[in-house]
Structure 1
Amino acid sequence: MSIDSVIAKSWGELTTTELYSIMKLRTDVFFVEQKVDETELDDRDQEAATRHYWIADNHGVAAYVRVLHNETAEYLDGHCVIGRVVVREDRRGEGLAQIIMKRIVDDYSDQAMMLHAQQYIVPLYTKFGFEAFGDLYEEATIMHQSMYRPAQ
């Protein structure tokens, strides 16, 4: 599987079937599996600058990532924010998140990016040039690390 298998769309381009599959995956993992009690539907998905990236299979969306654009940089010049990185349980360990991250890094190479990584997955992002900054912090009962990647 290559970055060519990654689908990227804006909110207005999503079909109802794609949207349902994305939201099902996100709620299955974040709410049911990880017991996150924070708001999942934060209205950021619908913003014009938000891009949705995913890999699909016969069962729907297997892996998903969204990229937001913040008007104000949260850290240095990092206006692009990667988030909602999720892989369906039956497809974990296949490198799907890495494939999507490669596509995103290629698409946004000219822009600084940041993300808030769950602590255990920090090594994935360091492979793509992200560097940790600040202290570890708890978000939704899960330890996180802020990370930044400068424009290339």
Structure 2
Amino acid sequence: MNIEIKKFSELSLAELYAILQLRSEVFVVEQDCVYQDIDGKDAEALHVLGTKNGKIVAYTRCFAPGYYFPEAAIGRVIVKESERKFGYGHEIMKTSATAIFENYNTSNIKLSAQQYLIKFYESHGYQCIGEGYLEDGIPHIAMIKD
């Protein structure tokens, strides 16, 4: 998998379309969750795109401290279902943390994790904080890494 980091203004129309298509495929259809994915925040994010054979198969968006949370943030963590067995989620998370450090000079990162992925995020140094909550009908928990 090849990984690129781009600002919103650097995304091609085809890349933006592929990102939105993948997010809809997983978060709306696969997880059977009706929610507003296009939330007006993409323009402020760094977009981390994992491609394989010219197709986006993994993705995150990252935010500077103070935009989404007081800490830097990683969100919309996604790997195409057919590609999950290759460890791309780990690769995209490592690259996202590096991108945050290089662009925002911090390694203090917060995310809102789907609870079934707690062990995955713990393997990247995140710790649960607070109580779990429902976000769009799916159990989540806040996690942070210093």
Q: TM-score, normalised by structure 1?
A: 0.86
8 Å Cα contact 1:105-1:128 kept in structure 2: no
Letter in 2 for 1:66: R
1:44 counterpart = 2:41:
yes
Q: Which TM-score applies when normalising by structure 2?
A: 0.89
1:69 deviates by 2.6
Whole-angstrom CA distance in 2 between matches of 1:26 and 1:46: 16
Residues 92-103 of structure 1: pairs in structure 2 closer than 5 A: 92-103=84-95
CA distance in 1 between counterparts of 2:11 and 2:67 reads 27
Tell me whether 1:68 sits opposite 2:60 in the alignment: no
Matches within 5 A, 1:1-152: 5-47=2-44, 50-58=45-53, 60-71=55-66, 74=69, 77-78=70-71, 80-109=72-101, 110-111=105-106, 112-150=108-146
Root-mean-square deviation (CA), in Å? 1.7
The answer to whether the 8 Å contact 2:132/2:139 transfers is: yes
- 1:93 is displaced (CA, Å) by 1.9
Task: Tell me, yes or no, if the aligned pair for 1:44 and 1:68 is still in contact at 8 Å.
Answer: no
Conservation of the 8 A alpha-carbon contact between 1:117 and 1:144: yes
Unaligned runs of 5+ residues in structure 2 are: none
Provide the identity percentage.
Answer: 33
* Structure 1 position 71, deviation (Å): 2.6
How many residues align? The count is 142
Q: Which runs of 5+ in 1 are unaligned?
A: none
Q: Is the 8 A contact 1:67 1:81 kept in 2?
A: yes
Moved more, 62-71 or 20-29: 62-71
3-state secondary structure, aligned to 2:86: coil
Distance 1:73 1:64, change over 3 A: closer
The one-letter amino acid of 2:60's match is V
